[in-house]
Every structure is written in C-alpha cells, then in structure tokens.
Amino acid sequence: MAAKSSHTMTIPTDAELVQAQADLWRHSLSYLTPMALRCAIQLGIPTAIHRHGGAASLIDLVTTLSLPPSKAPFLSRLLRLLSTTGVLASNEVGIYSLVPLSYLLVDGVLVDGDASQAALVLCLTSRYHMEAAMGLADWFKKDIAQPLPSPFEDVHGATLFEESMAVLDPESDKLFNEALAAHDHMGIGTILRECHGLFNGLQSLTDCCGGDGTTAKAIVKAFPHIKCNVLDLPKVVDKAPSDGLVNYVAGDMFHSIPPAQAIMVKLVLHFWSDDDCINILAQCKKAIPSREAGGKVIVIDMVVDSSSPMFETQLLMDVAMMVCTRGRQRDENDWNAIFMKAGFSDYKIVKKLGARGVMEVYP
C-alpha cells in the first residue's frame, strides 16, 4: 500500500479561486496569441503599417488590405490583442505602429542584412506543428523502441527538413526550409559587432550546415583575410549561389568536416540528441589544429539559464525541440558534459546574446 502523503493542500480563498480561473482561461486560450500573429502576417498588417510610414489607423489598414468595411470592428479587436501582447504599439487615438518585433515581419525589408522572420512564424504555427503538439500525450504513453521518434515523426510519419517531409507536402517543406534559413541567419550582424574578437587572428573557418553561405559571407565581408568553407548536404550545396566569396563543400558533418583553424556550429546542435552532438563535435575536433595553433570550435546556440529574463522563451524552445525533433535546448552543465565527452579540454561562454550563447570550445 502506498504511503499517505502528510501534505494537505490549503483550501484556496475566494480571491485565489477567481485568479486561478482567470489564469486557467489565459493558459487555455493562449494559443490565440500566435494565431493572431499568424493572421497578421497572412493579412500583411506589419507590411501595410510600414508602407504607411510606420503608423496607420484602423481605416488605413482596412483600405490598404482591401478588407470589407464590415470587418473593421473585428479587425479592431485583433489589433487590440496584438497591441496588448507587444506585437504592435497603439495610442489613445487608435494609431497602430511597428515595434522591433513586428518590424521583423515586414515583407521585403532586411533587418541588419537578415530577411523577414515571417516564415518562422508561419512554420511554427502550421497545422503540422500544431498537430504534433496535440499528439504529445499519446506519444508519452507509447513504449517505443530506441531511437525514439519525435511526436512530429510519430504523428506525420515524416521528419522535418528531410526528403520524407518533401514527399508528404512539398509546399510546407519549402516553407519550413525558408523558416530554418531565416532562423539561422538572424543575428550574425550582432555577433560580428558584439563578439568581434571571436574572429581575430583566424585564417580559415568552416561553417557546418552553413546553408546558402549567408553567415559565412557576412564573416568574409567583415574579415576579408579569412578563408571560409561552407559545409552542407549535397542537396543544399547544389542550390547555393557561387560567387567566389566562400568555398562550398558537399558532405556530411557526421563523417568528415573540411579542416580549418576554426569550425563554427551555429544553431545546429539543438536539433540533435546528446550522442549525435558528441559525434558531430568529435568530427569538429579532428578538423582543427591544437589550441596553441589557434584551433577552436565556435558553438552558437541557446544556453538555458533560469536567471535569464528569457527563461520562459528558452523553455518553450526546448519543448518545441522535443515535439518536432530529437534534439533539445541545453544549459551550461549540459554543454560542458557534451564538450568533455567529445574530447575537448576546455570552453568558455564568450557572450550571451538574448536567449543564445556564443561559446569557444578548445581541443
């Protein structure tokens, strides 16, 4: 017989029950926040406000978006939610304006050299991601043989960013890859400014899973003396533009990485399990010289930190990885364990930029 708990819950007060009910409503309805954001992108609200000089009234938006006038009261309610949740700003006379978040969603505008993040929102709010999350309870109950498929794989029978997804839904696969590129390229300008010393003294660098080379090209433009390789799968490299700035290499980071003084793994490892990360990093270690010769691996990824104001965002990103991939987000202890198991001697967190960390790992 199980031992009875000695803990007795205190009966909530009337005020606590009323607050608890409101909190329950908020949690249960919070899915409407990303749905409202998705709707704003699909309607083109951020772009419309931008074209009005950064501020627009309700009537301006109804006219610019070619919406039926009868929908104006309903659009007003959507805009009120978007303003309350920090997607837009509004004033007492009903003028809506962009904030940094919504500026990232303006079509055709580059932010510090980075493309719009609209594809990322549309990806994460797609029916494929929603249905995967809705299957989470069933996934937990299943006794599945290792390696465990993600709930996304379990529900859809396809894996993100692989051929199976392209076969299942080519249009969504294209969107998901656009979202991945937007996610990966965002922030390299900030890294180059805030972590300038990261690249000082380097003569060569290989960017693992570097995609179309956007990140590597930004590094070469800032540091013209660095010779950059971009490693990615053949299907990615075959579509990459060849302009001579960087050297594209078709390959697989699990098997071989082009040698360089530094290897950069930017926003890659969170997609993979701990064992896979150890294998990837072991290949990185083989590709660099000694620490005395300047050898290092540059890891740019999330560093979960309970003291960070972005802790909740980091946890949401971790659960997103659990739902859609076989990877996870990691705290500093997790990173330390992986680095040591991969055969490295030391590391340091160079800087934390938002929810992400920039780390140097030494052989």
Domain ranges of the chain: 32-103, 118-182, 187-362
Retrieve residue 302's tokens.
Answer: 């999330």
For domain 32-103, give the fold: Arc Repressor Mutant, subunit A (1.10.10)
Q: Does residue 28 have a pLDDT over 50?
A: yes
Residue 169, exposed/middle/buried by CB under 10 A (0-12, 13-18, 19+)? middle
Give CA–CA dist 61/63, Å, rounded. Answer: 5
pLDDT at 212 over 70: yes
CATH C-level class of 187-362: alpha beta
For residues 277 and 279, give the distance between their C-alpha atoms in angstroms, rounded to a whole number: 5
Instruction: Choose the weakest-confidence range: 26-40, 181-195, 205-219.
Output: 181-195
High-pLDDT (> 90) share of the chain, %: 86
Q: Mind listing the pLDDT tens digit for each residue in 33-70?
A: 999 999 999 999 999 999 999 999 999 999 999 999 99
Cα–Cα distance list, 121 to 101, 129, 268, 349 (Å): 12, 11, 19, 29
Do 132 and 144 touch, CB atoms closer than 8 A? no
Give the pLDDT confidence of 307-319 residue by residue, as tens digits.
Answer: 999 999 999 999 9
Backbone angles phi, psi at 331, to 5 degrees: -90, 180
Instruction: Please indicate whether residue 270 is annotated as part of the active site.
Output: yes
Residue 31: alpha-carbon gap to chain centroid: 19
Tell me, letter by letter, the H, E, C secondary structure of the chain.
CCCCCCCCCCCCCHHHHHHHHHHHHHHHHCCHHHHHHHHHHHHCHHHHHHHCCCEEEHHHHHHHCCCCHHHHHHHHHHHHHHHHCCCEEECCCCEEEECHHHHCCCCCCCECCECCCHHHHHHHCCHHHHHHHHCHHHHHHCCCCCCCCCHHHHHHCCCCCCHHHHHHCHHHHHHHHHHHHHHHHCCHHHHHHHCHHHCCCCCEEEEECCCCCHHHHHHHHHCCCCEEEEEECHHHHCCCCCCCCCEEEECCCCCCCCCCCEEEEECCHHHCCHHHHHHHHHHHHHCCCCCCCCCEEEEEEEEECCCCCCHHHHHHHHHHHHHHCCCCCEEHHHHHHHHHHCCCCEEEEEEEECCEEEEEEEC
pTM exceeding 0.85:
yes
Confidence of residue 1 (pLDDT cuts 50, 70, 90): very low
Spatial separation of the C-alpha atoms in residues 203 and 225, rounded to whole Å: 7
Q: Averaged over 187-205, what is the pLDDT?
A: 91
Burial classification of residue 317, based on how many CB atoms lie within 10 Å of its CB (0-12 exposed, 13-18 middle, 19 or more buried): middle
Sign for the CA dihedral angle at 52, 56, 59, 62 comes to: positive
Looking at residue 109, its pLDDT comes to 76
Active-site residue, selected from the candidate residues 50, 129, 185, 270: 270
Question: Looking at per-residue confidence, does 211 or 280 come out higher?
Answer: 280
The pLDDT mean for the chain works out to 94
pLDDT > 70? residue 248: yes
Lowest mean pLDDT among 196-210, 238-252, 291-305: 238-252
Contacts of 76 (CB under 8 A, 6+ apart): 58
Q: In which residue are the tokens 């697989």 written?
A: 252
